[in-house]
Amino acid sequence: MSTIRELHQQLIQREISAVELAEQTFQRISQVEPEVHAFLTLTRERALAQARRVDEKIRAGEALSPLAGIPVALKDNLCTIGAPMTCASKILQGYMPPYESTVTHKLDEAGALFIGKTNLDEFAMGSSTENSAFGPSRNPWNTRCVPGGSSGGSAVAVAAGEAVYSLGSDTGGSIRQPAALCGVVGLKPTYGLVSRYGLVAFASSLDQIGPFAPTVEDAALVLQTLAGHDPKDSTSLRVEIPDYTQSLIPDLKGVRVGVVREFFGPGTDPDVQAAVESAIQTLKELGASVQEISCPRFQYGLSVYYIIAPCEASANLARYDGVRYGFRKAADSLIPMYSETRDEGFGPEVKRRIMIGTYALSAGYYDAYYLKAQKVRTLIKQDFLEAYQKVDVLVGPTSPTTAFEFGAKASDPLTMYLSDVCTIPLNLGGGAGISIPCGLDRKGLPIGLQIMSDALQESKLFRVAYAYEQATDWHKRHPSL
């Protein structure tokens, strides 16, 4: 599996053309897509047109972005002109975005090749990609197992070699968790570092766009292009963007690493714990000082998230009413049309979260649920701030288990929600996090190491992740699909 850096060199040295690279990518998709179902839409004509423009620049001797001519897959909750956007939901049937999201505009300007739109849990609500209205994506390491979610299709596309890198969105772990289950690198940047303009909102105070990639360096190169202030996004941060590749050094001398005690306990698979503990030992050998850190309020993260996120979702999804766009159920009058459209258009998990959120925001319950959850969210953020006074980064497992078989948790939403117990606190705190491969369990399924930093400290993340990656070969292991 080639990296962005390797393909960039091949392109500028004319060992391969961008059109040839695009054609090879679509050939790979035709081979494995029936088994893994990573994509909802392929955008072949757009990719080839982009590839021809890149080849013309190469022939003219123009300087190229590192992402020029490199195939990328896009989660199907990002607006792109000329391709349908479904959010894996029936209710957006036939919807064609009239504008381009900021991140896809930046990638287009950089010369990236848009291969297609990837599958996800409906409206990004889920941890397994089983909630897609168009069928689940399958883990390329074992197609009987889930790839994680909600950005499961984006993780699968990279793991199965159908795209060099991809974009996902992370609200409670939806990039890091599927990255861990599929054995690739997944980055959730600081909230506000990457524009959300053109991302369909799930929970607006938590959503963040980030990349999946085969290596840490590739993730850094993608973030370099995506990051930056956007006046179209009111939550976008106006900050200077450093050169993230300067952080890619192979030792950890002077770096302080904190191991989050609360991430190890009942429910953590023994294979996962062993792999993460081995990874921590490697960090020590690379020169890092390691200490245990307690973040006691992290245990409330799951409860807080499943109040705040559904509340924001119930407000954001009110716009899908059958009037303005998407699916519409015919009825004799307005109210039945609303209710029948939403009943038939939304899947069970989306309905569940809308109802939870609407209840928690209703008169008499707002203070008891939503307001209290926001106060506890502040306490969780304080745990992070106190920890970062002692250490530079925090580490632990990305997911307490490896990939599970389809249907194993579908009938028990609470068990499914526990899949995100290690990732959710970071979203509530607003910091940055990355998942990198750190082992395989006894069934041969990938295990992810999660590294977390304070807001706008992605350089620290990349340094620790890169040093570990260079000292091990887990990122070189690929499924035999």
Cis before 150? omega within 30: yes
| Angle, CA 373 vertex, CA 169 and CA 404 arms, to 5° | 45
- Active-site residue, selected from the candidate residues 75, 117, 188, 409: 75
- Phi, psi of 361, rounded to the nearest 5 degrees: -95, -5
- Active-site residue, selected from the candidate residues 17, 65, 150, 453: 150
Cα gap 148→184, rounded to integer Å: 12
User: Is 232 annotated as catalytic?
Assistant: no
Report residue 420 CA to chain centroid gap: 12
Cα gap 113→140, rounded to integer Å: 23
Cα gap 135→121, rounded to integer Å: 9
| Angle, CA 404 vertex, CA 169 and CA 480 arms, to 5° | 85
Tokens linked to 379: 């306490």
Q: Are 458 and 244 in contact (CB under 8 A)?
A: yes
User: Is 247 annotated as catalytic?
Assistant: no
Residue whose C-alpha is closest to residue 301's, from 116, 461, 477, 452: 452
Report residue 147 CA to chain centroid gap: 12
User: Is 351 annotated as catalytic?
Assistant: no
Contacts of residue 149, defined as CB under 8 A and 6 or more positions apart, other chains included, come to 120, 121, 126, 127, 128, 129, 130, 131, 174, 177, 178
- Active-site residue, selected from the candidate residues 65, 128, 137, 174: 174
18-36 and 44-59 helices cross at what angle (nearest 10)? 150
Catalytic residues: 75, 150, 174
